[in-house]
Structure 1
């Protein structure tokens, strides 16, 4: 049996060893700005951030040793918040086309297709058929910019062009008959189409197919941007991004790899 003094000394030494062990260093934070846009970025029934972009961001940050901190921004304030340094990046279904020189980009990591949705049997079969019709879009969205840019051409004959704060309001306007067509991202509009099978269809011509990326401020940390670029590529190559897309019921070939289906239009289902 060990003498009491020896036991006390061993206990003291063990305590000293524990106290001398360095505490785990907190991970550096990445403040991510996102705008409500299901299924990419939204709050679930518990008030927690959820969605495709949130899941991809969490996994990408885990792999390179960052703690993601999400901040909700309106579409109108997101670019100002990034420029002011209030967020480190914008990570919410943001298309790169036309903005290549405005930001440092990580990606692309997803692809998107912009469409117009109309009622079945409406007689609207192409963008040209929108002449004299009423179209709704979400305010501040890229779809709004695409439409506005085109108003001098094929959209110049629209009878009415209306913007709403939320995409759900855009679809509600279509459902109520206030407008004849709703424009937006196919994957985002899908949630509304799925609730009303057989009632709506996408036009057989999209506004444009574009790559999505993470936008960082120009002049920012290019090394960090490259790290995210590389880890997103790894997640795509390894199938992680595809798994996330698949759990949200979206087409992997179209949304991850930028492929298209054999038909450019489909009935809502």
Structure 2
């Protein structure tokens, strides 16, 4: 009988331990799901935001946003949006913010901004056999951009004397299409963030040549509606800066881009 009592006691202790552990994990999970949700809008733009093999959003911006909002006491819901509708969506409150390699240049008065947290080069790419080597060589040529992006604005507005008059500017709704048009020879060149072009070449084993002369160097930020007075934008600004200072941003960017230090040189951008 004494032996049975010992065994029963051990079983009872084990059951209690499992029960207490289970309660602890449940409480922790409950606390996590009880955090308020920030809905972040972006489109498919590797390496900043894209779906992995399991269909889960990932990338530089997804990881930065997840960490930043976690520190702020929020959980993040990343949703794919039509990039052309981004301003309307954030102003209507369908999303809380826009974060998808979003250039601040020329848009400072359109949104409330947190950033810049990354510096990015807007560049032109051509096929390797192309006779285009500098921006002036684009005179009379056909160039493709993703619609509503910064390169589209640069070529439409002609405020930079370095930018020649094109033959045609082709604006396409999705990032991948501009590279398809270039690869098939439908256009002579494309313009986009350098990181996006490099990522496309890696993903699809494509060979494009990026011009040495950039269209511009711009700051990447998180955009909130202009009338958003909740204080989240300001808190996000502070948190992103803390992450840059403590090395978190460098570590995340380094997972996706070579020479990550150069992308964090944002102080000289003058925003």
SS at match of 2:84: coil
Aligned length: 242
Identify the match of residue 212 of structure 1 among 205, 220, 244: 220
1:74 paired with 2:65, answer no
Matches of 1:249 and 1:126 in 2, distance apart? 25
Identify the match of residue 181 of structure 1 among 189, 204, 216: 189
Identify the match of residue 100 of structure 2 among 83, 89, 92: 92
Matches of 1:31 and 1:214 in 2, distance apart? 12
| Structure 1 pair 224–179 and aligned structure 2 pair: CA distance change class (3 A) | same
Which sections of structure 1, spanning at least 5 residues, go unmatched? 1-17, 261-269
| Structure 1 pair 27–196 and aligned structure 2 pair: CA distance change class (3 A) | closer
| Structure 1 pair 47–163 and aligned structure 2 pair: CA distance change class (3 A) | same
Q: How does 1:1-269 map to 2 (within 5 A)?
A: 24=31, 26-150=34-158, 155=163, 157-194=165-202, 199-221=207-229, 223-258=231-266
Matches of 1:106 and 1:249 in 2, distance apart? 22
SS at match of 2:233: helix
Structure holding more helix per residue = 2
1:6 corresponds in structure 2 to: none
Matches of 1:196 and 1:168 in 2, distance apart? 10
Q: If the length of structure 1 is used for normalisation, what is the TM-score? A: 0.82
Matches of 1:173 and 1:54 in 2, distance apart? 28
The more displaced of 108-117 and 120-129 is: 120-129
Conservation of the 8 A alpha-carbon contact between 1:245 and 1:251: no
Which sections of structure 2, spanning at least 5 residues, go unmatched? 1-22
Q: CA deviation at 1:172?
A: 1.4
SS at match of 2:103: coil
Matches of 1:116 and 1:195 in 2, distance apart? 19
Conservation of the 8 A alpha-carbon contact between 1:113 and 1:209: yes
Q: CA deviation at 1:102?
A: 1.8
